[in-house]
Structure 1
Amino acid sequence: MTTYIMLLNWTDMGIRNVRESPKRLDLARKQLADMGGVFKELYLTMGDHDMVAICEAPDDAVAARFALQMGMGGNVRSRTLKAFPESAYREVIASLG
């Protein structure tokens, strides 16, 4: 599976209802699992982003669908980064010649 790093920020609605956030996280975990993915880690962060999630999905289409579903809930906005493990990084660099 491919790893994705999701940078998350609460919307105005999301922060107003922040006490419900753990329930929303549980729902997001289930939604991604139902799509064949897995929610690996979630970090509450300080700085430019409110949370960082590490997820795995079978492909980019599943990751995109998951991000769109989360956005449709209206509680968070996300930026999704496709992450390459060190082995893929080394392979890409080696292919530069």
Structure 2
Amino acid sequence: MTTYIMLANWTQQGVSKARDSATRLDAAKKALGDMGGEFKAFFMTMGRFDLVAVYEAPDDAVAARFTLQLGMLGNIRTETLKAFPEAAYREIIRSLG
């Protein structure tokens, strides 16, 4: 599976319904699980982003569909990074010649 790091900010709608945020997180975890993925870590953060999630998905298409479905709900705006684990990083660096 591929690892993704999602950086998210609440929209005005999302922050106005912050009390429902944990329920929305549970629904997001279920939705991703139904697509064959899994949350690995989740954090509420202070600074540029309100939320950070690390998750795995079978491929980029699943990650894109998941992110789009979250965005369509109107509670968060996301920026998603594709992450390469250390072993893959080392292989990429070795291949540089």
Category of TM-score, reference length = shorter chain: over 0.9
> In structure 1, what is the Cα distance between the partners aligned to 2:65 and 2:3?
15
Deviation above 6 Å: which 4+ runs of structure 1? none
Structure-1-length-normalised TM-score: 0.99
Alignment of 1:44-55 (within 5 A): 44-55=44-55
Q: Deviations over 1:67-97 (max 9, x none)?
A: 0000000000000000000000000001111
Alignment of 1:13-92 (within 5 A): 13-92=13-92
Q: Any unmatched runs of 5+ in structure 2? A: none
Query: How many residues matched?
Result: 97
> In structure 1, what is the Cα distance between the partners aligned to 2:70 and 2:40?
16
Q: Letter of the 1:34 partner, please give it.
A: D
Q: Letter of the 2:77 partner, please give it.
A: R
Structure-2-length-normalised TM-score: 0.99
Q: Letter of the 1:54 partner, please give it.
A: V
- Cα RMSD of the aligned pairs, angstroms, is 0.4
Q: SS in structure 2 opposite 1:20?
A: helix
How far is 1:40 from its partner?
Answer: 1.3
Q: Any unmatched runs of 5+ in structure 1? A: none
